[in-house]
Structure 1
Amino acid sequence: MNVDRTALEDLAGWREDGRTGDIVHRSGKFFAIEGLDVRFPGNCVAAWTQPIINQPEVGILGILVKEFDGVLHLLMQAKNEPGNHDGPQLSPTVQATRSNYTRVHHGRPVPYLDHFRDPSGRVLADVRQSEQGAWFYRKRNRNMVVEVTGDVELLDGFCWLTLGQVHELLSVPDLVNMDARTVLACMPFSGRGTSDTFGSDGDGGFRASLIRSCDPAQGGRHGIDEVLSWTTGIRSTVDIHTERIPLNRLRRWHRADGKISHETGRFFDVIGVDVTARGREVGAWSQPMIEPVGMGVIALLVRNIDGVLHALVNARVEPGNSDVVELGPTVQCAPENYDHLPPGARPLFLDEVLAARPGRIRFDTVLSEEGGRFYHARNRYLIVETDEDPALGHPDFRWLTMHQLGELLRHSYYLNVQARSLSACLYSLTSSRVDSAPRLAPIPPH
């Protein structure tokens, strides 16, 4: 794949709407770059406008799984995207927008798509989930895991890997892509009997508390009904108002030198790229992309509570969310975007995460975000163990177990995409011994 930056006004197949300034595809499909006006009283920034990606169609992110010699394997693809930081990344079996798989581009069909559009195998997971609420307007994809028993032709660029292998590869920077991570998080990993399936390394160890966290029989700080009520209460009372507006009505954003940028140079730019590629449904195309400024920090604080590991989640409001609030990681920010704001606006617990002692950091890897829409978007993903409760009494934070996160992931719009990525990373810390088990854990009926 070759990717060349180009001016937005020179993108082949795209045009600027003469009335709104929105950047749209000539087919009316794929996605558009529009404007969003946000009013959020009481927030550290009470009002702003921004460009946002509007992609109203639902895509498919699917992983095909099959047992070989009693061990579950995942069919993964080595896929390059124009925004990838360093070439191909490990991707789901199918990763396609509706415009792609209905072949609006008149290109080749998407491999293995029929396994997900009309599943003949056992459906282990099937749920609509959101993507970045700061950059997408109400974007959602269908996250699926389908188990097959018959023969599956292995095409170029695809490989069967065990779950343990994929989990191990999560620790390699920029290797397992965002779409693979969100589907991995939706796999039915927790359930009754998990402790027996995985064994224990002693009563007080980190791994033992993590495995107990996957077992609903072990309980948690808050009951699942309490968690659902807390989330619904915040969704019902938060005061945020969003309105789609023409791109040419944005305040403090300027179009110059072939891109759209904020006057401060912070946040992100909207850029254009020309792409040529082999092995894709089409061999060449052009498109706009979002290019973040700086690297973000995405972190979970985790804590052993009565022998069961809990993760500290944040009820997070983002302007592009479909249902106002989703549960995010403890910390989710680009630190330099807060340099110009008062100290009180600095994200809670960011300093605790950045100052963590090496022995308390259980996971620390730079991972890429979705390379089909974001150009070199990378975040430092961390899981940090703590003995304290820094969020004691804070209304927007709760300690949840892994089995509670798994229960929420059976439903749409509860965990945001960053929290789903960290859930997959946290599952990976159960160790590679999952390969010795014929199943991840007892799988509940679909």
Structure 2
Amino acid sequence: MPSPDTAIADWIAERRRQGTLEIQRIPFSACADWHFEGGRLRHRSGRFFTIVGCHCEVGPAHLAGLDLAMIDQPEVGILGFVVRRGPAGWEWLLQAKAEPGNVGGTQVGPSVQATRSNYMRVHGGSPTRMLELFTGSPAAWHVLTDVEQSEQGDRFCGKYNRNVVVEVDGAFPTPDGGLWRWFGHRELRAALHGDYVVNTDARSVICSADWGLLGAPEAGPPFARWRGRGGLGEQLLDSAAEPAAEAGYADACARLDAARRAQAVRLAPVALDALPGWRVDDWEIAPAGAAADQVVQAYAVHAEGREVEYWCQPLVASRAPGRIVLVCARHAGVLRFLLNVSFEFGLREGAQFAPSYVSGCGHANPDGLLAALAGAGAVVHASVMQSDEGGRFMASVARYEIVELPAETAAGFADAGVWASLAVLRRLSRRRGLLNNEMRSALSLLLAWV
């Protein structure tokens, strides 16, 4: 019998062995249905997404004057999990989702993970399974969560997805074909600490959902199983139960609003072939120097079990692995987390809360934080390798970490951002446009302790 701690990772490994995912880099001229037009790279249908050039006319110092090739995808997609009440508590219907840019090919995705163009069948392929749960009238199911959340603001222009969780009863049929399987809350929590197991879309929905869905009903509120056991688990419990959470939430929102009012971000479109510091040829759209991390390339894909099994498309590749760190420290006896007010190219609001440190072009981090992370007394509580959503990014990877700093070290960063308890983060995660994509992924690491 498989261990609950490895059950999901074992299933994904099995699906990788059994499935077919073949990827080949090709020139743009061989990428059927995609062409350059009007200084953009677009699909013949005008749907899916477009690669565009952007220049930052107005913004903070790390953005002003920056030129980037971005993904313009105004459609709002669906990221939806189906859950049910099982004998041992909540169960989640996971999808073994094969994407060309995923490390390992197949990773855990939401029960339904689809762009609007896909589920409207612009590609001419088969229907999206279980779509009616997320687009129809809830008659036999119960909507538990439905909130729009942003995609990566350093590569997407204002992209949002619905993050949805619906509850069904025990009679709900599991889709056939072996790509969907029910797992319990304990198994899902364990998978959150696996390298390249749970994709970024699934993490976003899990973070935005009721965290109680990751625990047994009789266990009480999130993290309650650690009561009286000490260590990080009990610190997380106390942080999630902070009495002043409403005031902390209001203060965090006020500070984010003030930052947005104080600093505008304004972009101007630029034709790709006229984008300063970039070159466009038949094989890639790339920065000529080290001005940006991303490179756009074309790929031909064969993925068994998808609505369309053969296609080609552009993908955004990264030049180097990233590092993303959520810092925590004890303040007045409560564990708090350092949120960075992050202005990014593609965020509609200009800024959202990001993890304490995010590497790469288009991100600004608190001065001295990297040195503090390498200093004495820093404790790494979690460290997980993750690849960004493989439907748009090719092997774009980063190490996500939860690092605790000694209180005296953290005091030097008292004004570097917003220090928020888990109770405040829980409220922020349920609202649109407050936590960025990287923040939701980082926060999901803590949910392994629920």
TM-score, with structure 1 as normaliser: 0.88
8 Å contact 1:9–1:16 — kept in the other structure? no
Residue in structure 2 matched with residue 425 of structure 1 by the alignment: 445
8 Å contact 1:190–1:402 — kept in the other structure? no
CA offsets 1:118-177 (integer angstroms, 9 cap, x no match): 233221110000000000000000000111114122222111112221121121111100
In the alignment, the residues of structure 2 paired with residue 229 and residue 180 of structure 1 have an alpha-carbon distance, to the nearest angstrom, of 29
Residue in structure 1 matched with residue 13 of structure 2 by the alignment: none
Residue in structure 2 matched with residue 161 of structure 1 by the alignment: 183
Gaps of 5+ in 1: 339-343, 431-446
Q: Does 1:97 align with 2:115?
A: yes
CA offsets 1:284-316 (integer angstroms, 9 cap, x no match): 111001001101011101122333321110010
Q: Does 1:188 align with 2:210?
A: yes
In the alignment, the residues of structure 1 paired with residue 297 and residue 367 of structure 2 have an alpha-carbon distance, to the nearest angstrom, of 28
In the alignment, the residues of structure 2 paired with residue 150 and residue 206 of structure 1 have an alpha-carbon distance, to the nearest angstrom, of 35
**Aligned-partner SS, 1:47:** coil
Q: Check 1:127–1:391 CA distance in 2 against 1; reply closer, same or farther (3 A cut).
A: farther
Shift in Å, 1:209: 1.3
Deviation larger for 299-308 or 273-282: 299-308
In the alignment, the residues of structure 2 paired with residue 55 and residue 145 of structure 1 have an alpha-carbon distance, to the nearest angstrom, of 23
In the alignment, the residues of structure 1 paired with residue 449 and residue 186 of structure 2 have an alpha-carbon distance, to the nearest angstrom, of 10
Q: Which amino acid counterpart does residue 250 of structure 2 have in structure 1?
A: D
Q: Check 1:260–1:355 CA distance in 2 against 1; reply closer, same or farther (3 A cut).
A: farther
Residue in structure 1 matched with residue 48 of structure 2 by the alignment: 30
In the alignment, the residues of structure 2 paired with residue 157 and residue 304 of structure 1 have an alpha-carbon distance, to the nearest angstrom, of 43
In the alignment, the residues of structure 2 paired with residue 183 and residue 356 of structure 1 have an alpha-carbon distance, to the nearest angstrom, of 35
**Aligned-partner SS, 1:153:** coil
Shift in Å, 1:68: 1.0
Q: Does 1:108 align with 2:108?
A: no
Q: Does 1:238 align with 2:263?
A: yes
Residue in structure 1 matched with residue 36 of structure 2 by the alignment: 16
Shift in Å, 1:112: 1.2
Residue in structure 2 matched with residue 383 of structure 1 by the alignment: 402
In the alignment, the residues of structure 2 paired with residue 370 and residue 355 of structure 1 have an alpha-carbon distance, to the nearest angstrom, of 32
Residue in structure 2 matched with residue 7 of structure 1 by the alignment: 27
Deviation larger for 117-126 or 225-234: 117-126
Residue in structure 2 matched with residue 360 of structure 1 by the alignment: 379
Residue in structure 1 matched with residue 96 of structure 2 by the alignment: 78
Q: Check 1:313–1:306 CA distance in 2 against 1; reply closer, same or farther (3 A cut).
A: same
Residue in structure 1 matched with residue 160 of structure 2 by the alignment: 140
Residue in structure 1 matched with residue 273 of structure 2 by the alignment: 248
Shift in Å, 1:332: 0.7
Q: Does 1:296 align with 2:322?
A: yes
Shift in Å, 1:365: 1.2
In the alignment, the residues of structure 2 paired with residue 219 and residue 348 of structure 1 have an alpha-carbon distance, to the nearest angstrom, of 30
CA offsets 1:256-291 (integer angstroms, 9 cap, x no match): 351011111551110000011210001111100100
Shift in Å, 1:39: 2.9
Given candidates 203, 212, 216, the residue that maps to 2:238 is 212
Gaps of 5+ in 2: 1-20, 214-218
In the alignment, the residues of structure 1 paired with residue 422 and residue 365 of structure 2 have an alpha-carbon distance, to the nearest angstrom, of 30
TM-score, with structure 2 as normaliser: 0.87
**Aligned-partner SS, 2:211:** coil
Q: Check 1:69–1:393 CA distance in 2 against 1; reply closer, same or farther (3 A cut).
A: closer
- Indicate the RMSD between aligned Cα atoms, in angstroms: 2.4
Residue in structure 1 matched with residue 370 of structure 2 by the alignment: 350
Given candidates 283, 287, 297, the residue that maps to 1:262 is 287
Shift in Å, 1:392: 3.7
Runs of 4+ with >4 A deviation: 190-193, 344-348, 354-357
Q: Which amino acid counterpart does residue 254 of structure 1 have in structure 2?
A: R
Q: Check 1:319–1:231 CA distance in 2 against 1; reply closer, same or farther (3 A cut).
A: same
8 Å contact 2:80–2:113 — kept in the other structure? yes
Q: Check 1:240–1:348 CA distance in 2 against 1; reply closer, same or farther (3 A cut).
A: farther
In the alignment, the residues of structure 2 paired with residue 185 and residue 39 of structure 1 have an alpha-carbon distance, to the nearest angstrom, of 34
In the alignment, the residues of structure 2 paired with residue 333 and residue 347 of structure 1 have an alpha-carbon distance, to the nearest angstrom, of 13
In the alignment, the residues of structure 1 paired with residue 109 and residue 209 of structure 2 have an alpha-carbon distance, to the nearest angstrom, of 15
In the alignment, the residues of structure 1 paired with residue 162 and residue 184 of structure 2 have an alpha-carbon distance, to the nearest angstrom, of 23
In the alignment, the residues of structure 2 paired with residue 114 and residue 172 of structure 1 have an alpha-carbon distance, to the nearest angstrom, of 31
Deviation larger for 192-201 or 116-125: 192-201
Q: Does 1:410 align with 2:424?
A: no
Shift in Å, 1:372: 0.2
Shift in Å, 1:391: 5.2
Shift in Å, 1:234: 0.6
Shift in Å, 1:233: 0.5
Q: Does 1:152 align with 2:152?
A: no
Q: Check 1:158–1:391 CA distance in 2 against 1; reply closer, same or farther (3 A cut).
A: farther
Residue in structure 2 matched with residue 122 of structure 1 by the alignment: 142
Shift in Å, 1:328: 0.3
**Aligned-partner SS, 2:280:** strand
Residue in structure 2 matched with residue 434 of structure 1 by the alignment: none
CA offsets 1:19-69 (integer angstroms, 9 cap, x no match): x22011001110000111113455145311111000010000000000111
Residue in structure 2 matched with residue 439 of structure 1 by the alignment: none
Q: Does 1:198 align with 2:220?
A: no
Q: Which amino acid counterpart does residue 166 of structure 1 have in structure 2?
A: L
Residue in structure 1 matched with residue 7 of structure 2 by the alignment: none
Residue in structure 2 matched with residue 286 of structure 1 by the alignment: 312
8 Å contact 1:190–1:403 — kept in the other structure? no
**Aligned-partner SS, 2:394:** coil
Residue in structure 1 matched with residue 333 of structure 2 by the alignment: 307
In the alignment, the residues of structure 2 paired with residue 150 and residue 88 of structure 1 have an alpha-carbon distance, to the nearest angstrom, of 27
In the alignment, the residues of structure 2 paired with residue 402 and residue 372 of structure 1 have an alpha-carbon distance, to the nearest angstrom, of 31
Residue in structure 1 matched with residue 82 of structure 2 by the alignment: 64
8 Å contact 1:44–1:345 — kept in the other structure? no
In the alignment, the residues of structure 2 paired with residue 322 and residue 298 of structure 1 have an alpha-carbon distance, to the nearest angstrom, of 22
Q: Check 1:132–1:196 CA distance in 2 against 1; reply closer, same or farther (3 A cut).
A: closer
